[in-house]
């Protein structure tokens, strides 16, 4: 069945998802919403022709919908998503789940046990086929027992104090981690599971309120230990670059957004002894890639996954439970920066 979609928040990410939704065969964008009414004519001029309303409640007085995409800043995710859940709509929220752990927990509590509602979070690297293949390698024991990792994410974005919600502690919940490095935290969670403990330092180089760099030693509940370093204040990274090196008892896996290199001591199933190299171009099969340099197939695949899950009544690949786990990682890193080593309680406790 065709999914009737409302997009709330017509800034940068609203336009990205609007363009993709426009070409997905099972989706029909029935309304666009933004508190900033001046955006109505602008979105029309770039081909997004659905009726425009300031709020979801206004839109629902005139149109019927099955699902919403919440592409507003994270400080408003909870209030907007709550309104959508009240109408029993399926809800995708952009990352991070919220600007605080409290809001991310409240969002998960709203949908816990309600399998009729599809809930998703926009950690789009989850939808890169290359990273999914790496997840299967780790899961299937190709690397033997994974023991440790080194991970980094760099970007050239902040070289002087900047204004706007993204650089405001109260609205964004932080800086580099909540806006950018959370994508890398999601990957670590997807590959290694729940974080058990962390020692982190977050540092402001240029921003007035939020951190520009983060360094951490992280211990996962499955015994994997590793280090993370990230900064959005490094020249030379116009396009964000993620890199990981994962060591196991049977070899290593070195990867970035564009390729992985696997080196095995002993062959494992289809993977030979020695080096195997896989490029993103070998795994990328999407029919529409809005921004090949940054996240293109990830955005397309995540929207496709959300729409298909809404249509088929299945859980999304990245749920609000997963979003909460990443929020716990960020919260622990911020606390650690003030208080020292943080031990996290297990979700099953």
Grouping H, G, I as helix, E, B as strand and the rest as coil, residue 48 is: coil
Q: Quick one: 36 or 140, whose CB is closer to ligand NAD?
A: 36
Closest separation between CB of residue 278 and ligand NAD, Å? Answer: 23
Spatial distance between the Cα atoms of 113 and 133, rounded to a whole number of angstroms: 30
Only one of the segments 69-77, 112-120, 128-136, 316-324 lies at the binding site for ligand NAD (rule: CB under 6 A); that segment is 69-77
Please report whether residue 12 would count as binding ligand NAD according to CB under 6 A: yes
Spatial distance between the Cα atoms of 6 and 90, rounded to a whole number of angstroms: 10
Only one of the segments 73-81, 195-203, 256-264, 315-323 lies at the binding site for ligand NAD (rule: CB under 6 A); that segment is 73-81
* Cβ-closest position to ligand NAD: 11
Q: Provide the edge-to-edge strand list for the sheet that holds 342-343.
A: 274-279, 259-264, 251-256, 241-248, 146-154, 225-231, 213-220, 195-203, 342-343
Q: Quick one: 36 or 312, whose CB is closer to ligand NAD?
A: 36
Give the one residue of 5, 6, 13, 43 binding ligand NAD; rule: CB under 6 A. Answer: 13
x-or-dash string of contact with ligand NAD, 93-122, rule CB under 6 A: -xx--------------------------x
Q: Quick one: 105 or 250, whose CB is closer to ligand NAD?
A: 105
Q: How many CA atoms lie within 13 A of 9 on its CB side?
A: 21
DSSP-derived secondary structure for 72-118: S-GGGHHHHHHHHHHTT-EEEEPSSS-SSHHHHHHHHHHHTT-TTS-
- Output the six-digit token pair for 44: 């029309």
Spatial distance between the Cα atoms of 232 and 158, rounded to a whole number of angstroms: 6
| Matching residue, tokens 């991070």 | 96
Footprint of ligand NAD on 292-331 (CB under 6 A): 295
CB 181 within 8 A of CB 237: no
Please report whether residue 76 would count as binding ligand NAD according to CB under 6 A: yes
Footprint of ligand NAD on 170-189 (CB under 6 A): 179
Give the one residue of 3, 19, 67, 71 binding ligand NAD; rule: CB under 6 A. Answer: 71
Residues that bind ligand NAD (CB under 6 A): 8-14, 33-36, 39, 71-74, 76, 80, 94-95, 122, 124, 179, 295
């Amino acid at each position: 069945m065709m999914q009737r979609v409302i997009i709330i928040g017509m800034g940068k990410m609203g336009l990205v998802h609007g363009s993709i939704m426009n070409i997905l065969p099972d989706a029909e964008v029935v309304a666009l919403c933004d508190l900033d009414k001046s955006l109505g004519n602008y979105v029309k001029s770039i081909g997004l022709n659905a009726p425009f309303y300031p709020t979801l409640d206004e839109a629902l007085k005139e149109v019927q919908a099955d699902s919403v995409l919440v592409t507003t800043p994270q400080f408003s995710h909870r209030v907007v998503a709550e309104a959508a859940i009240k109408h029993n709509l399926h809800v995708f929220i952009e990352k991070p789940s919220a600007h605080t752990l409290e809001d991310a927990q409240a969002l998960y509590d709203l949908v816990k046990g309600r399998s009729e509602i599809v809930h998703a979070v926009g950690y789009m690297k989850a939808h890169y086929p290359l990273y999914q293949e790496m997840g299967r390698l780790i899961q299937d024991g190709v690397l033997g027992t994974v023991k440790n990792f080194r991970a980094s994410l760099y970007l050239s974005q902040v070289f002087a104090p900047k204004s706007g919600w993204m650089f405001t502690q109260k609205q964004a919940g932080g800086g580099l981690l909540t806006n950018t490095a959370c994508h890398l935290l999601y990957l670590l969670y997807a590959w290694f599971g729940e974080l058990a403990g962390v020692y982190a330092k977050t540092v402001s180089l240029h921003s007035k309120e939020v951190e520009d760099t983060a360094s951490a030693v992280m211990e996962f509940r499955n015994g994997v230990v590793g280090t993370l370093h990230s900064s959005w204040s490094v020249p030379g990274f116009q396009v964000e670059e993620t890199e990981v090196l994962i060591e196991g008892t049977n070899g290593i896996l070195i990867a970035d957004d564009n390729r992985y290199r696997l080196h095995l001591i002993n062959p494992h199933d289809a993977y030979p002894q020695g080096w195997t190299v896989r490029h993103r171009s070998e795994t990328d099969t999407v029919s529409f890639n809005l921004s090949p340099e940054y996240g293109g197939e990830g955005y397309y695949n995540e929207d496709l996954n959300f729409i298909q899950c809404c249509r088929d009544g299945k859980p999304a690949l990245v749920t609000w439970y997963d979003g909460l786990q990443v929020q716990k990682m960020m919260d622990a890193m911020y606390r650690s920066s003030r208080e020292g080593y943080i031990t996290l309680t297990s979700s099953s406790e």
